[in-house]
Amino acid sequence: MRWLRKNLVVIAGLLTLAYMILPNAVVMVFSFNRPNGRFNYSWQRFSTDAWKDPCGVADLCRSLTLSLQLAAWATLGAVLLGTMIAFALVRYRFRARGAINSLIFLPMAMPEVVMAASLLTLFLNMGVQLGFLTVLIAHIMFCLSFVVTAVKARIMSMDPRLEEAARDLYAGPAQTFLRVTLPIAAPGIAAGGLLAFALSFDDFIITNFNAGPSTVTFPMFVWGSAQRGTPVQINVIGTAMFVLAVLIVVTGQLIANRRKKTATA
Amino acid sequence: MSATPTTEAPPVDGPVPRRPATRRRLVPYWLLLPGIVWLLVFFALPMVYQASTSVQTGSLEQGFQVTWHFRTYWDAFQEYWPQFVRSLLYAGTATLLCLLLGYPLAYLIAFKAGRWRNLLLVLVIAPFFTSFLIRTLAWKTILADDSLVVDALGALHVLDVTSWLGWTEGDRVLATPMAVVCGLTYNFLPFMILPLYTSLERIDTRLHEAAQDLYASPATTFRKVTFPLSMPGVVSGTLLTFIPASGDYVNAELLGSTDTKMVGNVIQSQFLRVLDYPTAAALSFILMAIVLFMVTVYIRKAGTEDLV
Amino acid sequence: MTDTTTGGDVRLTGISKTYGSFTAVHPLDLTVPQGSFFALLGASGCGKTTTLRMIAGLEDPSTGSVFLGDTDVTDLPPYKRPVNTVFQSYALFPHMDISENIAFGLRRRGIKSVKKQVDDMLELVQLGDKATHKPHQLSGGQQQRVAVARALINHPQVLLLDEPLGALDLKLRRQMQLELKRIQTEVGITFVHVTHDQEEAMTMADQVAVMNGGRVEQLGAPADLYENPRTTFVANFLGTSNLIEADVLDTGADVLVTAGGGRLRVPADRCPSAVRKGGKLLVGVRPEKISLAHADDAGEIGADRNRVTGRIADSSFIGVSTQYVVNSPAGAELQVYEQNVERRAGLLPGTEVVLHWNPAHTFGLDADQDIDAGVETVEDSL
């Protein structure tokens, strides 16, 4: 009983973790399923067919490529614009700072469906053809605020004396930025970029509103298949991405640990 | 001594003030320009268009005109108020559940995990990389009739209670409010855990020792020290959970039924299927107003009473 | 000190800095002779760091000019000035290793072959084996030496040091003071050193400018400042002074004053020129110049000595000396430091004593000043 009381937090925490991991486990297990009907919701029998032919469903891999391209461009755009804003906010004094801060905060405090619907009214009113570009515009818009927040935090924790030291040591403004500011701000920019990539890649609601009929991203494909029939291949893709992400993080961690060890030795 | 210590000796012709070059003062504006213009054109301007659309009348064939038809708001609200109530209720419940479930895990990672800390963090974030739609579909399997989970809940008579409360129907969980709330909670849990973890991790563990040294029991220590210090995480976590949950329509669509539709579902179908733009715009505007109002009140309250 | 073969002196003329309505540095003229070790000493917020940053070019002066020799560098950005800085907490680039940090300045000036110079520099600061380490792997003292090397490798005309030893513990600080002094003597470059530690300033510098409230209070060699403070701020900030308010009875070769019923003599050349009969004067004497005698032995004190009677309020033994606090009619809490040559019994709190000293060690200050200016309070003591 005492043991239970002492470890209550641990038990509760691990239960939550189980709740969070359970669907991933299901996705993984069902990637080896051979369903009877069109829907992959109940277990029938073991099969590796889907793993042998992940692109075997029409349009699935095309939608995946489209999503990756979209996320890459959206990340680039959001990182570029967001980093500039973050530097201006931390390093300079200017008018209307409060208004600009609100403009950056609001997209994060807005239900996605509101942004999605209002952006669609803009495009409809302007007579813009919906397609890859309209989706890209939307993705950059909602990723921007998150990048600003991530980069701003990093720049704020950066010692301004480092840049002064560079200027004192004969580095002009451009050199100072390239050799000192950018390398030190890099982790923040990388974090913002990673977040933007993940948000864009996984976005459904805004994409659903602002995509044309030919711009089927991966989430749109999954949504469509939930209506028409879910191929096992989407579980394969989901599992592969999950495993890949964990592997990347774990190897990154291992490399960092080893580097730390050799450095102190 | 060649040094001359004159403390107050302005130059002969008076102080000459120096001014920084105007070019340098324009730098922040150039840095802000592209990003801010992007937000103004693709975030703020659409809000204006939406406001204007919401007071238009007409039809798809003949086009829409601004007629200041504010009745749309009243009609929309009257017809869809159950969906509004459901949205707020489901999102509120999910947020509360996220807090209750997420806090122990964030606490565990911050204070008790030791060398497992990084692994646990990876496990919290990793599900992100499987598309959330695929993961939501997995709940269809988990909560399917006669699935292990549902059978267990039935055997424990949990379903009797939830059915009596109206959360589930008979021995079904799928296509009930409970399934939708369960999906919402699951989908937004990481957005609760990460801010909670960040603010818990910042707490100096010596504060716990100090509190216990000053006669506080573990429970009192948590109530008087740990929880108040984690308030920034609680506030941003609840906001990051509630705001997207209130506008979500994916969980209600995939896990719910026609009786669990939320306002997001209505906006989506009005906009993309019925093509009744004024009603959709008005609904979207009402949702925005409600959320912004609640967020403002919440931040005020949390900021002035609980945070200090 | 008057060598003018290269560069020349640092000259500040009418230089000042204001931020909005706050004046950090009042218009100030200052010349730092070439090759000297010059200290700007003062409490935090006195304007010393702002002055230093204006020399470095990191702060634009509101008025006035900065000259290096005969060249006006006021409008040159920091990266075009032959001046380098050792920053407070060092500001070593965390993403570069030690040799990259040290080579930074040379590389920015387009010098390709830097290895030899970097190695020599590492040798000078005794860090030859740390070239490939990252800054965070070094101790505070080592980081400090890298910061010095990174600046010195550029052979600046002036090296500016902003509280370079502030982050080190006491023992290491003493060690680095000697080390910096050795390096300065070796390279012969002008050092301008900003510090709030009066002991540090006095050990290292040839000349010290004491700053307070954005102005230079007094400038001179350390011994001169200590022996002949001209303001209460300098008297209290540099070491400890006993300051006694007194009325002037007579002037002459010695100024005769009275305080708390007793009579004291002050050499006229150590008094402000404005002193006159019937006026007021602050009489100062350093604690270590004072001797203590039991009230019973008062007769044995020479007649030519200044004397003040009082009662011991407190005494603390600190090894080399014993410090007494004496309350007297002339002034409360007078400090007396007595060398522990031989242990003296009987000087316990409550004992009636006579304080006596050679009148030549007495100085006089203008009585219109705040008598407690520059006294270290608990918050700002180390």
Q: Do C108 and A167 touch (CB under 8 A)?
A: no
Q: What is the pLDDT of residue C193?
A: 95
Whole-number Cα distances in Å, A233 to A28, A51, A200, B62, C86 = 11, 7, 21, 45, 61
- Best of B4, B6, B16 to disrupt the C interface (most C CBs within 10 Å) is B6
User: Residue A265 pLDDT more than 70?
Assistant: no
Who among C88, C94, C109 is closest to A184 (CB)? C94
Q: Nearest 5 degrees, angle CA A96-CA A98-CA A103?
A: 95
Q: Residue A168 and residue C134: Cβ atoms within 8 Å? A: no
**Count of domains for chain A:** 2
H or E segment and range at residue C39: strand C37-41
Nearest to C91 among A162, A172, A176 (CB): A162
Residue A157 forms part of a structural domain: yes
Chain C, residues 220-279, CB within 8 A of chain B, namely 220
User: Does C95 sit within 8 Å of A165, measured CB to CB?
Assistant: no
Give the H or E element holding residue A253: helix A232-264
What token pair was written down for C333? Answer: 């809490």
Binding-face residues of A in 211-240 toward B, CB within 8 A: 218-219, 222-223, 226, 230, 234-235, 237-239
Do residue A249 and residue A208 come from a single domain?
A: no
**Is the fold of C10-227 the same as that of C240-365?**
no
Residue with the two structure tokens 């949990």: B158
Whether A75 and A109 share a structural domain = yes
- Which of the residues in chain B have pLDDT under 50? 1-17, 19, 304-308
The length of chain A in residues reads 265
A152 in any annotated domain: yes
For chain C, the structural domain boundaries read 10-227, 240-365
Q: Do B18 and C63 touch (CB under 8 A)?
A: yes
| Shortest Cα–Cα distance, A263 to chain C (Å) | 7
Q: Does residue B212 form part of some domain? A: yes
Contact between C61 and B17 using a beta-carbon 8 Å cutoff: no
Report whether C196 contacts C44 (CB < 8 A). yes
Please check whether residue C166 touches A, CB under 8 A. Answer: no
pLDDT tens track for A142-168? 999 999 999 999 999 888 899 999 999
Do A240 and A220 sit in the same domain of this protein?
no
Q: Do A246 and B295 touch (CB under 8 A)?
A: no
Chain A residues within 8 A of C154 when measuring between CB atoms: 169-170
Domain that holds residue B172: 71-306
Subunits next to A (3 or more Cβ pairs <8 Å) are: B, C
Least CA distance to C153: which residue of chain A?
A169
**Counted domains in chain B:** 1
Interface of A with B in 51-70 (CB under 8 A): none
Answer whether residue B267 is part of any domain: yes
The C-alpha of B130 sits at a distance from chain A's nearest C-alpha, in angstroms, of 5
Mutual orientation of helices B177-201 and B71-107 as an angle, nearest 10°?
50
Residue C319's pLDDT is what? Answer: 86
Say yes or no: A29 contacts chain C, CB-CB below 8 A: no
Q: Spell out which residues of chain B touch residue A12, defining contact as CB-CB under 8 Å.
A: 101, 104-105, 108
Same domain, A129 and A244: no
State how far residue B301 is from chain A, nearest Cα, in angstroms. Answer: 17
Confirm whether A151 is domain-assigned. Answer: yes
Residue B274 pLDDT = 85
Percentage of chain A exceeding pLDDT 70 = 98
Burial class (CB in 10 A: 0-12, 13-18, 19+), B247: buried
Same domain, yes or no, for A212 and A237? no
A167, A243: one domain: no
Verify whether the Cβ–Cβ distance C27 to B2 is below 8 Å: no
Task: Verify that A189 and A240 share a domain, yes or no.
Answer: no
CATH homologous superfamily of C10-227: P-loop containing nucleotide triphosphate hydrolases (3.40.50.300)
Same-domain status, A183 and A259 = no
By C-alpha distance, the chain B residue nearest A126 is: B49
CATH no., domain C240-365 = 2.40.50.100
Residue A43 located in a structural domain:
no
Nearest to A119 among B42, B139, B277 (CB): B42
Residue C23 at interface with chain B, using a CB cutoff of 8 Å: no
| pLDDT reported for residue C156 | 92
Chain B closest CA to C10's CA: distance in Å? 10
Residue of A nearest to C91 (CA): A162
| Residue C338: its H or E element | strand C331-339
CB contact under 8 A, C91 and A161: yes
Alpha carbons C242 and C333: distance in angstroms, whole number = 9
Residue A261 has pLDDT above 50, yes or no: yes
A92 inside domain: yes
Nearest-CA distance C85 → chain A (Å): 7
Are A245 and B126 in contact (CB < 8 Å)? yes
Q: Could you tell me how far CA A254 lies from the centroid of its own chain?
A: 23
Q: Which of C28, C29, C31 to probe by mutation at the B interface, max B CB count within 10 Å?
A: C29
**Segment holding B119, helix H or strand E:** helix B117-125
Which chain B residues are within 8 Å of C31, Cβ to Cβ?
2-4
pLDDT at A263: 57
Assess if residue B5 is contained within a domain: no
Query: Is A239 among the domain residues?
Result: yes
B2, B8, B17 member nearest C63 (Cβ): B17
Helices and strands in chain C, H and E counts: 8, 20
3-state secondary structure B91-105: HHHHHHHHHHHHHHH
Per the structure, the complete domain to which residue A194 belongs is given by: 62-230
- Average pLDDT of the residues of chain A: 90
Question: Per the domain annotation, does A25 fall within a domain?
Answer: no
Which amino acid makes up residue A96? Answer: A
Residues of chain C with pLDDT under 70: 1-7, 343, 377-382
For residue C138, which residues of chain A lie inside 8 Å, CB to CB? none
Does B221 map to a domain?
yes
β-sheet bridge partners, residue A144:
none
Q: Which residues of A touch B72 (CB under 8 A)?
A: none
> Is the CB of residue C93 less than 8 Å away from at least one CB of chain A?
yes
Q: What is the CATH number of the domain that holds B132?
A: 1.10.3720.10
Q: Which of C27, C10, C23, C30 is nearest to C208 (CA)?
A: C30
The verdict on residue B89 lying in a domain is yes
Give the other-Cβ count within 10 Å of C64's Cβ: 23
> What is the reported pLDDT for A211?
93
Q: Which residues of A touch B140 (CB under 8 A)?
A: 41
The whole-angstrom distance between C33's CA and the closest CA on chain B is: 7
- C104–chain A Cβ distance below 8 A for any pair: yes
Residues of chain B found within 8 Å of residue A239, distances taken between Cβ atoms: 130
Question: Which subunits sit against B, judged by 3+ Cβ pairs under 8 A?
Answer: A, C
A181 is a domain residue:
yes
